[in-house]
């Protein structure tokens, strides 16, 4: 069925999807490259071309470096812990002797909540006066350990990170689980007969054989970590101060809050380059460790 020439039927089948994709993603994406070189405010019709001034401002502003730092901390935190928990959950679900499916379903439940809902629930859990954590600490008589979990600039970012790990781990668990089920049992049996202990089996057989899942999950969790928005908006609004302002949040704030959409778009372009860069580094690092059976 391999054809060389494009015929009208193919065009007819593919063009609706193609038109939507180009019109509502590619065209605005290309336009944003242009707007990133302007002082556009999003409202007025005159758009002034100002060359690379937006980019110069980005790389000389403290606010951007703060956002970059927050983004890196949050993304690394999320990727590491999401993958750690996802792997632990997958191994547990794979080995538990009863109720496998029920456990798998439960671990996935946070994934189906919206960012706003999960953020709100945890905002109340973290609440200083009537939050769950402080109430438990109070009931245990440990009032000294009570904290304003998301009101404290030192804690806020990690507290938001915890919510994201809770919400995301189940998704990556599904991918690890599928990968674990692809590990041939005869290989593990053979290792057992040879006297390998569970840790050796895990280290030398399971890990290399699920390395494909590591690549996928780290790539996905890093990209998703860079794009976190909903939870920050409902839990902290970038605050206290700028303690939880990430690049995406900075972009949104300058674009809509301060009416500087040209500058905001330039921040978006920087974000895209960051995504591409991270992806390339990661692919190189993890792909080289993959083992094909």
Among 52, 56, 76, 116, which residue interacts with other proteins (rule: CB under 8 A)? 116
Using alpha carbons only, how large is the chain's radius of gyration in Å? 24
Among 52, 132, 277, 291, which residue interacts with other proteins (rule: CB under 8 A)? 132
42 forms part of the interface with other proteins (CB under 8 A): yes
Rounded least distance, CB 156 to other proteins, Å: 16
271 forms part of the interface with other proteins (CB under 8 A): yes
50 forms part of the interface with other proteins (CB under 8 A): no
Rounded least distance, CB 112 to other proteins, Å: 5
106 forms part of the interface with other proteins (CB under 8 A): yes
Among 37, 64, 77, 122, which residue interacts with other proteins (rule: CB under 8 A)? 122
As a whole number of angstroms, the distance between CA 279 and CA 155 comes to 28
Among 226, 236, 238, 243, which residue interacts with other proteins (rule: CB under 8 A)? 226
Q: Hey, which residues between 52 and 81 contact other proteins (CB under 8 A)?
A: none
Rounded least distance, CB 265 to other proteins, Å: 5
Q: Hey, which residues between 144 and 183 contact other proteins (CB under 8 A)?
A: 166, 170-171, 174-175, 178
Residue of 123, 220, 118, 238 whose CA lies nearest to 174: 220
Measured from the CB atom, is 66 or 219 closer to other proteins?
A: 219
Token pair 């939870």: residue: 231
Residue of 88, 109, 108, 110 whose CA lies nearest to 180: 88
Rounded least distance, CB 76 to other proteins, Å: 18
Measured from the CB atom, is 1 or 154 closer to other proteins?
A: 1
Rounded least distance, CB 267 to other proteins, Å: 9
Q: Which residues pair with 49 in a beta bridge?
A: 38
277 forms part of the interface with other proteins (CB under 8 A): no
Residues 6+ apart with CB under 8 A from 256: 42, 264
- Other beta carbons within 10 angstroms of residue 213's beta carbon come to 22
Q: What is the DSSP letter of 240?
A: S
Q: Hey, which residues between 2 and 41 contact other proteins (CB under 8 A)?
A: 2-7, 9-10, 12-14, 16-18, 20-21, 23-29, 31-32, 35, 40
Q: Hey, which residues between 189 and 218 contact other proteins (CB under 8 A)?
A: 213, 216-217
As a whole number of angstroms, the distance between CA 40 and CA 261 comes to 6
96 forms part of the interface with other proteins (CB under 8 A): yes
CB-based contact 272:261 (threshold 8 Å): no
User: Residue 192 corresponds to which tokens in the numbers above?
Assistant: 């057992």
- Exposed/middle/buried for residue 135 (C-beta within 10 Å: 0-12, 13-18, 19+): middle
Count of positions on this chain that bind other proteins (CB under 8 A): 97
In order of 45, 164, 247, 252, 283, the CA distances from 229 in angstroms are 29, 11, 10, 9, 25
């Amino acid at each position: 069925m391999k054809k060389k020439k494009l015929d009208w039927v193919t065009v007819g089948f593919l063009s609706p999807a193609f038109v939507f994709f180009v019109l509502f993603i590619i065209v605005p994406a290309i336009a944003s490259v242009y707007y990133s070189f302007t002082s556009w405010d999003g409202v007025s019709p005159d758009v002034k071309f100002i060359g690379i001034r937006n980019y110069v401002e980005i790389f000389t502003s403290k606010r951007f470096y703060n956002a970059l730092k927050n983004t890196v901390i949050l993304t690394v935190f999320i990727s590491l812990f999401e993958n750690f928990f996802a792997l632990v959950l997958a191994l547990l679900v794979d080995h538990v002797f009863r109720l496998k499916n029920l456990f798998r379903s439960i671990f996935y439940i946070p994934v189906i909540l919206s960012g706003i809902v999960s953020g709100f629930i945890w905002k109340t859990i973290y609440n200083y006066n009537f939050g769950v954590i402080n109430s438990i600490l109070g009931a245990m008589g440990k009032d000294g350990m009570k904290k304003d979990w998301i009101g404290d600039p030192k804690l806020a970012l990690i507290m938001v990170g915890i919510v994201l790990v809770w919400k995301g781990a189940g998704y990556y668990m599904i991918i690890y689980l599928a990968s674990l089920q692809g590990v041939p049992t005869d290989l593990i049996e053979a290792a057992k007969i040879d006297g390998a202990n569970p840790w050796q089996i895990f280290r030398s057989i399971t890990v290399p054989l699920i390395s494909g899942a590591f690549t996928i999950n780290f790539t996905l969790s890093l990209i998703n970590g860079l794009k976190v928005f909903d939870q920050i908006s409902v839990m902290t609004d970038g605050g206290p101060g700028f303690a939880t302002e990430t690049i995406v949040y900075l972009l949104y704030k300058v674009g809509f809050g301060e009416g500087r959409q040209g500058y905001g778009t330039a921040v978006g372009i920087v974000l895209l380059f960051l995504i591409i860069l991270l992806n390339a580094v990661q692919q190189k690092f993890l792909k080289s460790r993959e083992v094909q059976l």
